[in-house]
Amino acid sequence: MSTVPVNVTVTGAAGQIGYALLFRIASGQMLGPDVRVRLKMLEIPQGVKAAEGTAMELEDCAFPLLAGIDIYDDATQAFDGVNVGLLVGARPRGAGMERGDLLAANGGIFGPQGEAINAGAADDVRILVVGNPANTNALIASAHAPDVPADRFNAMMRLDHNRALAQLALRTGAPVSEISRVTIWGNHSAKQHPDITHALVGGRPAAEVVGDDAWVKGEFVPTVAKRGAAIIDARGASSAASAANAAISHVHDWVLGTPKDDWTSVAMPSDGSYDVPEGLVSSFPASSEGGRWEIVQGLELDDYTRAGIDASVAELVEERDAVKELGLLPAVTI
Ligand SMILES: NC(=O)c1ccc[n+]([C@@H]2O[C@H](COP(=O)([O-])OP(=O)(O)OC[C@H]3O[C@@H](n4cnc5c(N)ncnc54)[C@H](O)[C@@H]3O)[C@@H](O)[C@H]2O)c1
Ligand SMILES: O=C(O)C[C@H](O)C(=O)O
């Protein structure tokens, strides 16, 4: 078992995702069964009492790996010494809203948190932004943390990735474990581009196993892209347990690696791959080794996929320009 605990900061700790996330982190599901964790929970002042209640429950689990719990309403303290930061705290959308409608409401949270990360984070810090609109919030946070390498800021696409796996499994009857190489491109929004052109089902090309291009374009893509809204409609609240599950898997794979011969989907600052403008936090197929993501290179893009990526990236450009207009990005940012 590790002697020095890993500092894990979770913002929005008293929210519904926070409640589904903290227990899994403390039990070792995120960083492994031998790694001790110290939880640093950040809330707004009105959320602190509920966070204290969650902390009591965490204590009552007597997790062997849980080295301590601190609760803050101050970002500088919460991010001091942070190794892994999960930026969840933000308003969720309601019925009839798009995630981009949250730009003005939530964007202002991520600049000060980026500054706090810049001021106090550990050298190996890794930040996953979950709060929506996640990609542009990650861009804002990173732009306010000039001393932290930009590739340490990710936005979460793993939920979309898992939704795509699940829909493909339901359609083909294959277990999820036999499906690989699915990709979500672009933005975590209804304009994301779920892509199975390189996916395999039981070792065979997924498109061949499905054998129905109309289903892919007319059912699969919109079902995955609009799943968040469908959950809100059905549950009356946005996804929580599946979002927390995706966050656990994202950080697990970032730190401990992805399985050989497969990849996942990660929103990270573009290095220009696949002609996505440099610096935009866009989703790519990615694998991890040695604690670093590498974008999977050399995939051929057919016209449909290229158009899907371009539409999603155009939306990211619009979001970036909107937050610039709102004064939420420093002037030097892309
Ligand atoms: N990227 C994804 O795939 C994905 C999936 C699901 C939800 N989300 C997003 O995650 C966010 C949280 O969702 P939720 O359902 O947990 O919401 P929630 O309303 O249940 O909880 C949000 C919590 O954040 C806290 N908070 C607000 N501002 C804060 C700040 N500045 N610092 C610290 N805490 C703050 C609130 O007090 C609240 O307790 C939403 O923006 C939602 O849209 C993203
Ligand atoms: O859709 C939402 O607003 C919540 C979340 O981003 C999701 O994908 O479930």
Distance CA 301, CA 274 (A): 9
Rounded average pLDDT over 29-39: 98
**Ligand 2 centroid – CA 326 distance (Å):** 23
Q: Any residues with CB less than 8 A from the CB of 207 and at least 6 apart, and which?
A: 196, 197, 199, 213, 216
95 three-class SS: coil
Per-residue pLDDT at 70: 98
Q: Starting from the CA of residue 266, give the closest ligand.
A: 1
**To test ligand 1's pocket by mutation, which of 132, 137, 157 has the most ligand atoms within 8 angstroms of CB?**
132
pLDDT 10s digits, 106-119: 889 999 999 999 99
Asked if residue 27 and residue 98 are part of one domain, the reply reads yes
Span from the CA of 240 to the centroid of ligand 1 (angstroms): 9
Calculate the CA 92 to chain-centre distance: 14
Angstrom distances, CA of residue 274 to CA of 53, 152, 184, 271, 278: 46, 20, 13, 9, 10
Q: How big is the chain by its Cα radius of gyration, in Å?
A: 19
Question: Hey, which residues are catalytic here?
Answer: 188
Tell me the pLDDT of the chain averaged across its residues.
Answer: 96
pLDDT confidence band for 235 (50 / 70 / 90): very high
Q: Is the pLDDT of residue 195 over 80?
A: yes
From the CB of 161, is ligand 2 less than 6 Å away? Answer: no
Residues in CB range of 259: below 8 A, 6 or more apart: none
Q: What is the band of 93 on the pLDDT scale with cuts at 50, 70, 90? A: confident
pLDDT tops 90 at residue 274: yes
Residue 2 confidence (pLDDT) above 80? no
> Is 330 a member of any domain?
no
Ligand 1 lined by 43 (C-beta under 6 Å): yes
DSSP bridge pairs for 69: 39
Asked whether residue 185 falls in the same domain as residue 38, the answer is: no
- 117/120 Cα distance (integer angstroms): 5
High-pLDDT (> 90) share of the chain, % = 91
Q: How far is CA 292 from the centre of its chain?
A: 15
Whether residue 98 is predicted with pLDDT greater than 90 in this model: the reply is: no
Q: Is residue 266 in some structural domain?
A: yes
Considering the domain architecture, whether residues 142 and 209 belong to the same structural domain is answered as no
Best of 17, 91, 99 for a ligand 2 pocket test (most atoms within 8 Å of beta carbon):
99
218 in any annotated domain: yes
150 with 162, same domain?
no
Report whether residue 90 contacts ligand 1, using a CB cutoff of 6 Å: yes
Asked if residues 79 and 9 have their Cβ atoms less than 8 Å apart, the reply is yes
CA distances from 252 to 16, 256, 290 (A): 21, 6, 12
pLDDT given for residue 231 in this prediction: 97
pTM over 0.95: yes
- The verdict on residue 329 lying in a domain is no
Distance CA 130, CA 249 (A): 13
Q: How confident is the model at residue 295 (pLDDT cuts 50, 70, 90)?
A: very high
Is the pLDDT reported for residue 228 higher than 70? yes
| Residue minimizing CA distance to atom 2 of ligand 1 | 130
Q: What is the pLDDT of residues 303-312, one digit of tens each?
A: 999 999 999 9
Q: Which of 59, 32, 108 is nearest to 322 (CA)?
A: 108
Q: Is the pLDDT of residue 104 over 90?
A: no
| 81 and 108 both lie in a single domain | yes
Domain count, the chain: 2
User: For residues 263, 269, 271 and 275, what is the CA-based torsion angle, rounded to 10 degrees?
Assistant: 80
Co-location of 175 and 299 in the same domain: yes
Assess whether 132 and 258 both reside in one domain.
no
Question: Domain for residue 333, yes or no?
Answer: no
Dump the DSSP string for 42-87: E--GGGHHHHHHHHHHHHHTT-TTEEEEEEES-HHHHTTT-SEEEE
DSSP letters along 109-125, please?
HHHHHHHHHHHH--TT-
Asked casually if ipTM beats, i.e. exceeds, 0.95, the reply is yes
Final residue of a structural domain among 106, 127, 155: 155
* Same domain for 314 and 172: yes
d(CA 256, ligand 2 centre) in Å: 26
Residue where one domain finishes, among candidates 136, 155, 174: 155
Same domain, 151 and 162: no
Binding-site residues for NAD(+): 12-18, 106, 113, 130-132
The pLDDT, as a whole number, for residue 332 is 64
Determine whether the shortest distance from the Cβ of 47 to ligand 1 is under 6 A.
yes
Closest atom of ligand 1 to CA, residue 93: 43
Question: Comparing 75-84, 213-222, 319-328, which segment has the lowest mean pLDDT?
Answer: 319-328
Is the same domain home to 177 and 313?
Answer: yes
Residue 134 CA: nearest ligand 1 atom is: 1
Give the residue from 114, 129, 155 where a domain finishes: 155
pLDDT category at 87 given cuts 50, 70, 90 is: very high
Mean pLDDT along residues 19-24: 98
Rounded Cα distance between 329 and 334, Å, is 9
Mean predicted confidence (pLDDT) in 246-264: 97
pLDDT(99) > 90: no
Ligand 1, atom 22: closest residue by C-alpha: 15
Distance, C-alpha 232 to centroid of its chain: 18
| 308 lies in the same domain as 229 | yes
Residue-range definition of the domain harbouring residue 76 = 6-155
Beta bridge partners of 6: 37
**Residues 52 and 89 reside in one and the same domain:** yes
Instruction: Please give the average per-residue pLDDT across 136-151, as a whole number.
Output: 97
Which of the ligands is closest to the CA of residue 102? 1
Q: What separation in angstroms does the CA of 229 have from each of 94, 156, 314? A: 9, 17, 21
What pLDDT, on a 0 to 100 scale, did the predictor assign at position 189?
97
User: How much is the average pLDDT of 233-254?
Assistant: 97
Q: Does the beta carbon of 93 lie inside 6 Å of ligand 2? A: yes
Q: What is the CATH number of the domain that holds 307?
A: 3.90.110.10
Give a yes or no: residue 91 inside a domain: yes
- Judged against a pLDDT cut of 70, whether residue 74 lies above it is answered with yes
**Domain at 74, CATH number:** 3.40.50.720
Q: Is residue 238 in a domain? A: yes
Q: How confident is the model at residue 242 (pLDDT cuts 50, 70, 90)?
A: very high
pLDDT at residue 331 above 80? no
1 inside domain? no
**Closest protein CA for atom 40 of ligand 1:** 92
In the annotated binding site, the residues are: 12-18, 93, 99, 106, 113, 130-132, 163
